Amino acid sequence: MSVFGDIISKIFHHPKAAAAPQAAPQGAPRPGAATPAPAASAAAAEPAPAVDVEGVLDVMARDNGQTLNWRQSIVDLLKVLSIDSSLANRKTLAAELGYTGDTEDSAAMNLWLHKAVMRKLAENGGIVPDSLR
Protein backbone atom coordinates (compact mmCIF):
# COMPACT_ATOMS: atom_id res chain seq x y z
CA MET A 1 0.00 0.00 0.00
CA SER A 2 1.16 3.55 -0.64
CA VAL A 3 2.10 5.92 2.17
CA PHE A 4 -0.88 8.11 1.38
CA GLY A 5 -3.06 4.99 1.25
CA ASP A 6 -1.90 4.19 4.78
CA ILE A 7 -2.80 7.73 5.89
CA ILE A 8 -6.29 7.44 4.41
CA SER A 9 -6.80 4.01 5.92
CA LYS A 10 -5.71 5.02 9.42
CA ILE A 11 -7.95 8.11 9.47
CA PHE A 12 -11.01 6.92 7.57
CA HIS A 13 -11.16 3.52 9.28
CA HIS A 14 -10.41 4.72 12.79
CA PRO A 15 -13.14 3.70 15.28
CA LYS A 16 -13.73 7.38 16.09
CA ALA A 17 -14.20 8.30 12.41
CA ALA A 18 -17.80 9.31 12.97
CA ALA A 19 -19.51 10.74 9.97
CA ALA A 20 -19.74 14.48 10.09
CA PRO A 21 -23.19 15.95 9.58
CA GLN A 22 -23.80 17.04 6.01
CA ALA A 23 -26.62 18.96 4.41
CA ALA A 24 -28.57 16.98 1.85
CA PRO A 25 -27.97 18.20 -1.70
CA GLN A 26 -30.77 20.29 -3.18
CA GLY A 27 -33.41 18.08 -4.67
CA ALA A 28 -32.27 15.06 -2.65
CA PRO A 29 -34.98 13.16 -0.80
CA ARG A 30 -35.22 13.62 2.94
CA PRO A 31 -34.02 10.71 5.04
CA GLY A 32 -36.88 8.26 5.36
CA ALA A 33 -38.73 9.65 2.33
CA ALA A 34 -40.06 7.13 -0.14
CA THR A 35 -38.08 6.77 -3.36
CA PRO A 36 -38.94 4.83 -6.49
CA ALA A 37 -35.56 3.04 -6.57
CA PRO A 38 -35.09 -0.30 -4.80
CA ALA A 39 -33.26 -0.06 -1.49
CA ALA A 40 -30.12 -1.83 -2.75
CA SER A 41 -29.56 0.53 -5.65
CA ALA A 42 -30.43 3.57 -3.54
CA ALA A 43 -27.78 2.60 -0.99
CA ALA A 44 -25.21 2.07 -3.73
CA ALA A 45 -25.89 5.54 -5.12
CA GLU A 46 -25.32 7.31 -1.79
CA PRO A 47 -21.85 8.75 -1.29
CA ALA A 48 -19.74 7.48 1.57
CA PRO A 49 -20.14 9.62 4.68
CA ALA A 50 -17.54 12.33 5.11
CA VAL A 51 -15.04 11.92 7.94
CA ASP A 52 -14.11 14.70 10.36
CA VAL A 53 -10.34 14.51 9.82
CA GLU A 54 -9.51 17.07 12.50
CA GLY A 55 -11.68 15.29 15.06
CA VAL A 56 -10.16 11.89 14.35
CA LEU A 57 -6.61 13.27 14.48
CA ASP A 58 -7.35 15.08 17.75
CA VAL A 59 -8.51 11.78 19.30
CA MET A 60 -5.51 9.90 17.92
CA ALA A 61 -3.10 12.58 19.18
CA ARG A 62 -4.65 12.51 22.64
CA ASP A 63 -4.46 8.71 22.72
CA ASN A 64 -0.84 8.76 21.50
CA GLY A 65 0.51 10.08 24.79
CA GLN A 66 3.20 12.28 23.19
CA THR A 67 2.98 16.02 22.65
CA LEU A 68 2.77 16.19 18.86
CA ASN A 69 2.02 19.18 16.65
CA TRP A 70 0.19 17.27 13.90
CA ARG A 71 -1.56 20.47 12.74
CA GLN A 72 1.70 21.90 11.35
CA SER A 73 4.24 19.09 11.20
CA ILE A 74 4.11 16.23 8.70
CA VAL A 75 6.53 14.29 10.92
CA ASP A 76 4.19 14.62 13.91
CA LEU A 77 1.16 13.85 11.74
CA LEU A 78 2.78 10.59 10.65
CA LYS A 79 3.71 9.80 14.27
CA VAL A 80 0.09 10.33 15.38
CA LEU A 81 -0.92 7.82 12.69
CA SER A 82 1.86 5.35 13.70
CA ILE A 83 3.37 5.60 10.21
CA ASP A 84 7.13 5.69 9.60
CA SER A 85 8.11 9.38 9.67
CA SER A 86 11.64 8.88 8.35
CA LEU A 87 13.02 11.15 5.64
CA ALA A 88 13.02 8.22 3.20
CA ASN A 89 9.32 7.57 3.81
CA ARG A 90 8.50 11.29 3.50
CA LYS A 91 10.36 11.36 0.18
CA THR A 92 8.24 8.41 -0.95
CA LEU A 93 5.09 10.29 0.08
CA ALA A 94 6.33 13.40 -1.74
CA ALA A 95 6.79 11.36 -4.93
CA GLU A 96 3.29 9.86 -4.56
CA LEU A 97 1.73 13.32 -4.22
CA GLY A 98 3.69 14.88 -7.09
CA TYR A 99 6.23 17.05 -5.27
CA THR A 100 8.50 18.73 -7.82
CA GLY A 101 10.79 20.59 -5.43
CA ASP A 102 14.16 19.56 -4.07
CA THR A 103 13.71 16.60 -1.72
CA GLU A 104 17.07 17.43 -0.15
CA ASP A 105 15.45 20.63 1.21
CA SER A 106 13.48 18.69 3.80
CA ALA A 107 12.06 21.81 5.49
CA ALA A 108 10.41 23.04 2.27
CA MET A 109 9.30 19.52 1.36
CA ASN A 110 7.79 18.98 4.82
CA LEU A 111 5.75 22.19 4.62
CA TRP A 112 4.50 21.23 1.17
CA LEU A 113 3.74 17.67 2.26
CA HIS A 114 1.57 18.71 5.19
CA LYS A 115 -0.57 21.00 3.02
CA ALA A 116 -0.73 18.42 0.21
CA VAL A 117 -1.83 15.63 2.57
CA MET A 118 -4.59 17.82 4.03
CA ARG A 119 -5.78 18.82 0.53
CA LYS A 120 -5.79 15.19 -0.60
CA LEU A 121 -7.71 14.10 2.48
CA ALA A 122 -10.35 16.71 1.63
CA GLU A 123 -10.44 15.54 -2.00
CA ASN A 124 -11.06 11.98 -0.80
CA GLY A 125 -14.06 12.76 1.38
CA GLY A 126 -12.47 14.11 4.51
CA ILE A 127 -13.76 17.23 6.16
CA VAL A 128 -10.64 19.37 6.64
CA PRO A 129 -10.80 22.94 7.97
CA ASP A 130 -9.38 25.58 5.63
CA SER A 131 -6.81 26.44 8.30
CA LEU A 132 -5.18 23.02 7.74
CA ARG A 133 -5.07 23.20 3.98
* pLDDT score of 48: 59
Domain containing 86 equals: 3-16+49-132
Q: For residue 15, name the pLDDT band (cuts at 50, 70, 90).
A: confident
The answer to whether residue 54 is domain-embedded is: yes
Contact of 129 with 54, CB cutoff 8 Å: yes
The answer to whether residue 53 is domain-embedded is: yes
DSSP collapsed to 3 states, 6-48: HHHHHHHCCCCCCECCCCCCCCCCCCCCCCCCCHHHHHHHCCC
Q: For residue 120, name the pLDDT band (cuts at 50, 70, 90).
A: very high
The answer to whether residue 101 is domain-embedded is: yes
Q: For residue 43, name the pLDDT band (cuts at 50, 70, 90).
A: very low
* pLDDT score of 47: 56
